[in-house]
Each structure stands twice: as C-alpha cells, then as structure tokens.
Amino acid sequence: MRARGFTLIELVVVILILGILSAVALPRFNNASTAARVAAVQGQAGSINSALGLVRAITAVQGPGTAGAEAGITYVTMDTVQIRVWNGYPDRWCDGVAATQAGFTVPSGGCYLSTAPVPSTTFTFYGYGSGMIPNGDAGWRIETAPGPMNCSVGYNYGGSGVPVVTAYTSGC
C-alpha cells in the first residue's frame, strides 16, 4: 500500500501563498494600528474639550469653588473628584485638567508643579513644562506610538483667556 502525503511542490505553493498574503495583510494591519492611535488622540482631545465645558458649567451654577492657597486657584468637585481650577478653567497639572478624565487617579501627595509622568490607561499625562508635549504644553501622549511626542494631546492654558486643546497625530 502506498503512503499518501503532500508533495514538495504542494508545500512550496502553500508557503508561497502564505507569504504573499502576509505581505498584503501586514501593511493593512499596521495602518489599522495607526488609525486606532489617531482616533484615540482625537477622542482624548474631544473628552478634554467636553470637560472644560463641564467645569465652566459647574462654576457658573455653583460659584467659583473653594479658594486655594495660590491667587486665582479654586477647587470644584466634578462627580466625586476634586479639580484644581485656575481663573475658571482646569489648571495645567494632573490635579487640574488631568483629573477631569475618567479613570485618572491623582498620585498621593499631589502633583502641583510636577513634570513627572503619570500613566493612566492608554495615555501618560505630563504637566506643563515637561518638554514631552509639543510647545511645552501639559498633555497626554501614547508612549507606544512610533513618535510619542507627536501622538499626543496638548493643553495650553496660562491662566487667562480660553485654554487651547491640540491633537498632534503625525507621530501616531
């Protein structure tokens, strides 16, 4: 009785087909990863803009909040989280604007004037002046991106005017 199996030619053809499929599919998978990071950055920027509106609404309805030790600083409570507010908008530290984001935990001991990274889910938060976000802004970045500095959301606010939220996606 003769044993049945695959011939060498059949195996080579299958390997060749798998190689062609992987060459076509891999770039598409990579583009999906880039698109997912871009969408995450844009979603984070939208979430921050929404939080700015919520803080403004809270201060309009309930007043400016509890006075802080520094001039222009107050504290308001959003859900159960205390938010550091500077002249009506969230401050640029992790107990300010970063604390407005769901799931973010302010480190014990606080983070006022700290540029240390604070990891949280997909993003890592950096306070103002860290040099880790374009233009020295405070913000969030995706550390696993090919260019994390330019796969980020910047929060620019100097205590007057309206904060500017910028999504940087060229490094995603």
Structural domain including 141 reads 8-63+112-168
Number of folded domains in the chain?
Answer: 1
Residue 92 included in any domain: no
Residue-wise pLDDT for 143-168, tens only, equals: 999 999 999 999 999 999 999 999 99
pTM for this model (two decimals) = 0.81
Q: Is residue 96 part of a domain?
A: no
Q: Is residue 164 part of a domain?
A: yes
In a domain, 83, yes or no: no
The verdict on residue 44 lying in a domain is: yes
Report how far residue 11's alpha carbon sits from residue 147's, in angstroms, rounded to the nearest whole number.
41
pLDDT of res. 111: 86
Report if residue 69 sits inside a domain: no
pLDDT tens digit string along 14-32?
A: 777 777 777 776 666 666 7
Q: What is the pLDDT of residues 75-126, one digit of tens each?
A: 999 989 999 999 999 999 999 999 999 888 899 888 888 889 999 889 999 9
Tell me whether residue 152 is in a domain. Answer: yes
- Residue 97 included in any domain: no
Structure confidence by residue, pLDDT tens digits, 37-90: 999 999 999 999 999 999 999 999 999 999 988 989 999 999 899 999 999 999
